Structure 1
């Protein structure tokens, strides 16, 4: 945008700077007046302004204040610079009028530009005007001043204030305000450049013109009742279309200004005739073509297209998806995957099956390439004696049975849930950038698996990160302990290990035998075989425990859907309702399930893990599976004993135990004595606490 003058050239601004008595207004930001130039140490004598003085000051304030939010400050500075008292009574109505500013808002889905009060340095002492109750004297001062100012934006502001006040003649004032706003939008030469940053200056000035045009469109609904209403409305639409067209076709990108004007026209689409509507749709499509490399801009433009012509909804949605497909071409794999993932998501949302399939096919192709991911690792130093002590605690014993008992007594590898939540919140609070950064979890297949959408998702992600860091260390300790056990006692026979894991036959012998074989694979160095057999049997162990608790876990067959047991996620939910230890619940979910965890069960079951896993990963899978094998003959080990305010009682009452025993006796008679012993122990413990 261009401006015709520079205030340093007095001839260019003479018309604006002439005072009422033929003197000159000083456009400098200083406070000294011409009459006090020879007496710098004395306080300048300021006089109250005449109406002509106020009109000239308002004109010059609008001409030289690039951002209209600075109008009161600019007016105040100009007044003092010309020997006028800005705090005198006649200036207060003017300062109040200048204390408003134009802002874009959306009301009931309609884009508007409204006039809002803004408290500033020179208006903070003024009460926010209640325009409906403004005194007649102040309103009359605005009206007289509106007849004297020459700057179209100044005239529009004063008339707009009178429109907001209401009363007789409001439609006519609204029509006059619309005309003044349009005059300003069409005459950028009324603005004088002051700063040295031309780009910033141009953006501010262009924003002012866009807001003037938007306010003109917004006022047409009030001006419609005036005699000149239809004509001024027609002019407003024509000016807005020309304004938008100039910015759409400008060699200098003006996407913000163009978008705002197009959105305001779309919001006032009821004012457009068919030819004007077609012109608006053409401008929207033209702007979308110019900014095909900006997907967020295309999204906004397609929303406008649908608003103006709902029949083009599918075409608009297809363009949004195609934009992302095109943006993925030739990009680095990670960048391309981001665009393709968004394209697939949008296509699924809009039921564009052909484009969804195209996006997924491209994602699968990109997944074959090296994504260029780099590992970032940190090191922590743990004293050797501490590590040795933990390994010994998990592996010491007079024989392999005692050593394995200690290994099976180790706590949840992911750590204490409450402590992890505190840690994750603390880590998140240390870095705002990390909290705002875009996160995408990539699966073992190089495909995007999950991204956080809400604050709750972010919290879950941070918690899983903390748990996985602790699991990494725990996996190393568990692996070292398993190696030490066989180093001390040799590898126990499969059958003896199976009977030990099954509680000497009181538990699930078949599952314990399968776990014993997984331990043997680990000790033989077949970590892959150990991981693949142990990880998938965690669900079998959880299901067996749920059945032991006599909880429903089967989905009955329906039409075209076979009957089946619920998955691991739902099984853990059932156990949580029976007071399953939350630390172990989090470990199982973080190790085996998604979306924020490692999703190890999915990767193993679907064959995505093709490289040899580490011993620590196999040890974690063994620990997860052994947890449920152990619980199948000690079911109350990880169940909290609840208590009410009057009498402590076990989570499993005697009646619960009887019902569970009857329900499981036929299915697995060996569980009956173990279950009764467990319940009796729980009751004794509760009664002992109750006596204390």
Structure 2
């Protein structure tokens, strides 16, 4: 303070009846031109800055705080219509201004009551009466009636914005229903209908003003039980609902109106009409989009809505439009990244396959580690990326399938982690697929490729494995070396599942699903069987690799191949499929399905299905390099 004077300490408010006229004048002046309670409070603060004494400052502070109480509308699909005056009670929140209504002391309540008795403006009367009612001041039911009447007058005659007048009416509606004040219901209803009608016909229509009132009108009049067939609705309420569906076609507004129709209308024909109009709105919004991604999202949203409410014709139209989106309208962005892996590193690794005999090179190929990397390390990296990325925390992810259409959304934390893990594994597969295919190509360059039968016999003798599975592996290798990659993949993929099923049967694992009602008896799919195999000690790294390669949310090659979506396959993918078949085919002892005595031999082989253990120096080098590339690509994609 200048001159070394101490700043005066704040003091509690003490009511002074002689100051009421001055206070009322201060409030009336602040109301002029204000469109909300907040503006009134702000004006009182700015005009009261000249107060110097602690008592005057306390008065300004207390009067201004009246107008910082807020009308809070109940929102959300599961919330009932209504509005509350906040803050009401003390709680553990960090909020500090204004004080909770019921924490106001006697001096403050005297101020509220004195201002109410001397004020004539309905906006001021409504708020003050509501404060005294909410604070449970003497005879609160009288203050409740006064608040309802003042709020209705303020909504009809006042100068506040449409949104704030809407809040007043919802608050009046809430108060009268809480005390069953039936004689005031018609005045509140008429004010609501006037506001809704004016909003729906205005040039610049505000849904935030209309929707809270419409929800109250659709709730029905007092005396009717909610949910019963005899709910009495204002005659205009249904018309307003359909007028709103015609006026507000944005998806988020349409869905809110559809929820109102389902929650409040009792006539099935009216409900169906409202839902059809809502579905049509969603379809129209999608049709107006030119960006392929946005159009696909909106059509998928409309299709889900139509299917949920059994609107089969609308659902069919959504799907037709989805299937015919121009692929060129999708604005895909390619993210590129360089690698620190040197060509000499790859060449050094490939030279390990330059063995005197092809058989020796194949043995080394069959001992390479899981191409997707360590599950434990991948999960750790996925969690680290999720934790450090604001984008992945607040936004979901949608993937597109090989058919070019939306396939799956990832929105929960668990789903996002699953997708991130799959992304890491997929990048590792791409890197390792290049290495494995290059290794197979190197073998064909260096050695003469034997007949399929020769490979078959060697695999059986060297590994003691099931003849049928060894033949499939030999045929897949031959097809690969002949350049028939699609045939190689289509042959090998079903045999991977067959090998795992045969091993589980030999272990006497109860996997068969017996007939139940309309479901015929059958063996489960690959996705169910892989975890069963892990129970016996199958290396989780290999289980993750097979899942990432063949199942969803991985590359899903198993289903794509079965349903004819694999039009072409590159050498890298074919090499990965061969590696997946080798790891399970060579585990299965001779005549797997017949020799249960060999069960222990399989269990012993599970922890390390390839005999390479931790791999050679070059294996570790490539795994490390692949992980480094994956991390660079992932982090760059998030920065985009």
Q: TM-score range by the shorter chain?
A: 0.7 to 0.9
Identify if the C-alpha distance between structure 1 residues 675 and 577 changes in structure 2 by more than 3 Å, giving closer, same or farther.
closer
Contact persistence 1:412–1:583 (CA under 8 A): yes
Q: Establish whether residue 582 from structure 1 lines up as the match of residue 540 from structure 2.
A: yes
Q: Give SS of 1:631's match.
A: coil
Greater mean alpha carbon deviation, residues 81-90 or residues 97-106? 81-90
Most deviating of 327-336 and 522-531: 327-336
**1:139-194, CA deviations, whole angstroms, 9 ceiling, x for partnerless residues?**
333211101123322211111111112254322211111111122222343x5xxx
Structure 2 residue aligned with 1:176: 146
Q: 1:508·1:632 contact (CA, 8 Å) conserved in 2?
A: yes
- Tell me the SS of whatever aligns to 1:555: coil
Establish whether residue 245 from structure 1 lines up as the match of residue 197 from structure 2: yes
1:352 corresponding residue in structure 2:
311
Does the aligned pair in 2 maintain the 1:508–1:633 contact within 8 Å? yes
Q: Find the counterpart in structure 2 of residue 291 from structure 1.
A: 248
Alpha carbons 2:119, 2:125 under 8 Å: kept: yes
- Extract unaligned runs of 5+ from structure 2: 225-229, 608-640
Separation in structure 2 between the aligned mates of residue 512 and residue 370 of structure 1, nearest angstrom: 45
Contact 1:541–1:629, Cα closer than 8 Å, also in 2 = yes
Q: Counterpart of 1:337?
A: 296
1:237–1:600: structure 2 CA closer, same or farther, 3 Å change rule? same
One of 574, 584, 597 as aligned partner of 1:628: 584
For the pair 1:254 / 2:223, whether they are aligned, the reply is: no
CA drift of 1:90 comes to 4.8
Secondary structure at 1:411's aligned position in 2?
coil
**Aligned match of 1:6:** none
Change (3 A) 1:558 1:177: closer
Partner of residue 632, structure 2: none
Match 1:54 to one of 23, 31, 54? 23
Q: Match for residue 619 of structure 2?
A: none
- Report 1:606-621 matches (<5 A): 606-610=563-567, 612-621=568-577
Contact 1:519 1:530 in 2 (8 A): yes
> In the alignment, does 2:345 pair up with 1:389?
no
Equivalent residue number for residue 306 of structure 1: 262
CA distance in 2, matches of 1:677, 1:362: 52
| Gap regions ≥5 residues in structure 1 | 1-40, 192-204, 635-663, 683-692
Match of 1:150 in 2: 120
| Preserved CA contact (<8 Å) 2:513 2:522 | yes
Matched-pair contact (CA < 8 Å) for 2:300–2:322: yes
Q: Which has the higher contact order (CA 8 A, sep 6+)?
A: 2
Partner of 1:236: 188
Distance, in Å, in 1 between the alignment partners of 2:70 and 2:519 is 63
The alignment status of 1:553 with 2:511, answered yes or no, reads: yes
Q: Do the aligned partners of residues 597 and 310 (structure 1) sit closer, same or farther apart at CA in structure 2, a change above 3 Å counting?
A: farther
CA distance in 1 between partners of 2:473 and 2:313 (Å): 46
Contact residue 233 and residue 271 of structure 1 kept, 8 A: no
Q: 1:103 to 1:545 in 2, by over 3 A?
A: same
1:457-468 alignment runs, 5 A limit: 457-468=415-426
Task: Name which of structure 1's ranges 314-323 and 271-280 shifts more when overlaid on structure 2.
Answer: 271-280
The answer to whether 1:77 aligns with 2:33 is: no
Structure ID, larger Rg = 1
| Residue 135 of structure 1, CA deviation | 4.5
Deviations 1:420-449 (A, max 9, x none): 223223333454235544532222222321
**Shift in Å at residue 546 of structure 1?**
1.4
**Distance change in 2, residues 1:561/1:51 (3 Å):** closer
How high is the TM-score relative to the length of structure 2? Answer: 0.82
Say how many residue pairs are matched: 583
Residue of structure 1 in register with 2:367 after alignment: 409
The aligned counterpart of 1:426 is 384
Please name the residue that 2:284 is paired with: 326
Once residues 275 and 562 of structure 1 are traced to their aligned partners in structure 2, the CA distance between those partners, rounded to angstroms, is: 51
**SS in structure 2 at match of 1:440:** strand
In the alignment, structure 1 residue 110 sits paired with structure 2 residue 80: yes
8 A contact 1:440–1:448 mirrored in 2: yes
Instruction: Assess, with a 3 A threshold, how the Cα gap between structure 1 residues 363 and 508 changes in structure 2: closer, same or farther.
Output: same
TM-score normalised over the length of structure 1? 0.76
The alignment partner of 1:337 has SS state of: helix
Structure 1 window deviating more from structure 2 (271-280 vs 398-407): it is 271-280
Which deviates the most, 546-555 or 332-341? 332-341
CA distance in 2, matches of 1:171, 1:266: 26
Alignment map for 1:559-574 (pairs within 5 Å): 560-574=518-532
